[in-house]
Amino acid sequence: MHPLVVMFLVFAGYLLMYHLYGKFISRRIFKIDEKFKVPAETMYDGFDYVPTKKEIIFGHHFTSIAGTGPIVGPAIAIIWGWVPAVLWVFFGSIFIGAVHDYGTLITSMRHRGHSIAEITGIYLNKRTKVFFYIIGLLELWILIAVLGLVMAIIFDMYPGSVVPIWLEIPIAVWLGHQVYKRGKDFLLPSIFAVVIMYITVIAGNYFPVNIIEICGIPATGIWTIILLIYAFIASIIPVTTLLQPRDYINSHQLLIAMGLLMLGIIFTSFGTGLEFVAPTFNLGKTDAPAIWPTLFIIIACGAVSGFHAIVASGTTSKQISNEKDALFVGYGSMLTEGALALLVIIAVGAGIGLGFKNENGEMLTGISAWSNNYGSWAAASGMNSKISAFVDGSANMITSIGIPRSIAIIIMGVFVASFAGTTLDTSARLQRFFLQELFGQKESSPFRNKYFSTSLVILSAGILAFVTGADGKGALSLWPLFGTINQIIAALALIVLTIYLKKKGGLKWLITIIPAIFMSINTLWASLLNQISYTKDQDWLLVSVNIIVIVLAFWIIFEGLVIFIRSKTKATKAL
């Protein structure tokens, strides 16, 4: 099937299912109440709890949940063929991911904006709540350290992206000032901000920034330190100062980048020609893991991701101004992320065939270009190679509409780095929320102080990043665990939603219990396979941490099953 046809079919399917399935869930399952007093209103503090227009909070939510996930995951999973990747991105996002995200968002809003971990304590028990917190804190700890490294790698690979990424910060602060201090409407200032940002993209092409080694610390280490300091500052200031305006700019950037990719696919299809050079199915890769259950772990963002539950119940639920906006923000963001994942699949499965320069400087085209990146599992699973495959494949298609290749590469490099940066400081804020919820119940607790809690977040991430050396790559020692931990959180969140819906009465819980069972089985299956692999490799760090996560997950799932069977249909009173 032609890439252009695939794109139109999937996009049309998303639009149709948003209006059919999404609105059905909103009206019939969760029974949205426009008069419900949301946490942003009842707990307003001007820092974390702030009522926000749905278009603006959509920008924050989407850019926070996306990060590099919908890029790297699909770019790896296409090794099994483009059809399995497209099918999981399409059906997974509609029936599992969007339900998971939207359900978590609404449930959190109805419980004073509490995290999904805290809500676990309400519908299961205090023990499972603590277990959920442990798994969630572990995921955020790894993620913060790795995202700093990811941005450092992008800056090293695409030095032209450095100037636009850092100049986006003062542009966003200016936008926030215009809207929240001077009372201007968001539309015109945001358009001006986006125009200025793309001017900086062009400037970045002429003023690339390369950092040299300083005091024995290589460039990746220097950037990691700088980015962790940035994350500390960004996560303690009011959301209206940087988070909301920057994410709103990034949402525009998303639409522009996706628009450029779509135009690139159309123009290339009718110009030089575009076709999938990746195989339709490629299930015989002897050195690759089995497609089932690995596919459902590799492609998380773009189909379903537990991190989304942490974001939805962490920052987003504290800023939604009306329950009716949650469908657009929660369900809509997930389908938009699925659309982005599809464009990534086309970029690395077809766009890369238009030309890819290998390490020897040789320009490869067609199947040769694809095979260079996917000749083995080791080559396919590398983060650097997948980012470059996406950026190069996208640039190949974008050049068909007249944009110079050098500019197109910077545009996509900035696009990837911007999303990583958004997720970085949002994750720091989320981990601070986790620590405050878990340890800040008493008035005298130091964890109630955001500076103290955030300092612990950043210092612990820094220790992990530099535990193996000055290059800041220490988190990579635990990174193999991230995929299964992330999907375990998704499974556990779906279990909590199932019990919540059962207590509401009727058969509403059928919407979430089937996804919960699917995710629980496949994620635990993958975790056990990983445990066997880690043991064979004698990687005792991964063996130890993974077995702890498996035990905690089994425990929560078992207790969730018992509580589900015993639970009555009378609704539990929200906090």
Q: Which of 79-93, 206-220, 436-450, 556-570 has the lowest mean pLDDT?
A: 556-570
Taking the CA atoms of residue 283, residue 287, residue 288 and residue 291 in that order, the dihedral angle to the nearest 10 degrees is 40
pLDDT digits (tens, 9 = 90+) for 366-411: 899 888 888 888 777 767 778 888 999 999 999 999 999 989 999 9
Q: Please state, in angstroms and rounded to a whole number, the distance separating the CA atoms of residues 142 and 221.
A: 16
Arithmetic mean of pLDDT, 314-340: 96
Q: Which of 210-224, 374-388, 414-428 has the lowest mean pLDDT?
A: 374-388
First vs last C-alpha separation in the chain: 51
User: 192-206, 280-294, 320-334: which has the highest mean pLDDT?
Assistant: 320-334
* Predicted local confidence at residue 225, as pLDDT: 95
pLDDT digits (tens, 9 = 90+) for 448-483: 999 999 999 999 999 999 999 999 999 989 989 999
Cis peptide before 446 (omega within 30 of 0): no
- 520 versus 156: which is more confidently predicted? 520
Residue 350 has pLDDT above 60, yes or no: yes
Q: Please state, in angstroms and rounded to a whole number, the distance separating the CA atoms of residues 512 and 354.
A: 42
- Burial class from Cβ neighbours inside 10 Å (0-12, 13-18, 19+) for residue 403 reads middle
b or e along 290-326 (b: 16 or more beta carbons within 10 Å of the residue's beta carbon)?
ebebbbbbbbbbbbbbbbbbbbbbbbbbbbbbbbebb
- Domain spans of the chain, in order of start: 37-566
Residue 364 β-bridge partners: 356
Arithmetic mean of pLDDT, 503-512: 92
Arithmetic mean of pLDDT, 142-153: 90
Q: Which of 144-148, 243-247, 260-264, 462-466 has the lowest mean pLDDT?
A: 243-247
* Predicted local confidence at residue 569, as pLDDT: 56
Q: Please state, in angstroms and rounded to a whole number, the distance separating the CA atoms of residues 132 and 552.
A: 8
Superfamily holding 37-566: Amino acid/polyamine transporter I (1.20.1740.10)
Q: Please state, in angstroms and rounded to a whole number, the distance separating the CA atoms of residues 370 and 353.
A: 6
- 240 versus 338: which is more confidently predicted? 338
* Predicted local confidence at residue 286, as pLDDT: 64
The percent of residues in the chain predicted with pLDDT above 90, rounded, is 71
* Predicted local confidence at residue 347, as pLDDT: 94
* Predicted local confidence at residue 574, as pLDDT: 46
Arithmetic mean of pLDDT, 526-553: 95
Arithmetic mean of pLDDT, 197-207: 91
Residue 260 has pLDDT above 50, yes or no: yes
As a whole number of angstroms, the longest Cα–Cα distance in the chain is 67
- 572 versus 532: which is more confidently predicted? 532
In this structure, the strands spanning 363-364 and 356-357 are antiparallel
* Predicted local confidence at residue 560, as pLDDT: 93
* Predicted local confidence at residue 342, as pLDDT: 97
* Predicted local confidence at residue 285, as pLDDT: 67
Arithmetic mean of pLDDT, 184-211: 89
Q: Please, are residues 209 and 159 in contact by the beta-carbon 8 Å criterion?
A: yes
User: DSSP code of 480?
Assistant: G
User: DSSP code of 375?
Assistant: S
Residue 363 β-bridge partners: 357
Spatial neighbors of 57 by CB under 8 A, at least 6 apart, are: 244, 316, 319, 320, 321, 325, 329
* Predicted local confidence at residue 570, as pLDDT: 52
CA 405 to chain CA centroid, Å, is 27
* Predicted local confidence at residue 575, as pLDDT: 46
b or e along 529-562 (b: 16 or more beta carbons within 10 Å of the residue's beta carbon)?
bbbeebeeeeeeebbebbeebbebbeebbebbbe
* Predicted local confidence at residue 263, as pLDDT: 95
Report pTM: 0.94
Residue 551 has pLDDT above 70, yes or no: yes
State phi, psi for 400 to the nearest 5 degrees: -70, -15
Average pLDDT, the chain: 92
Q: Which helix (H) or strand (E) holds 556?
A: helix 540-566
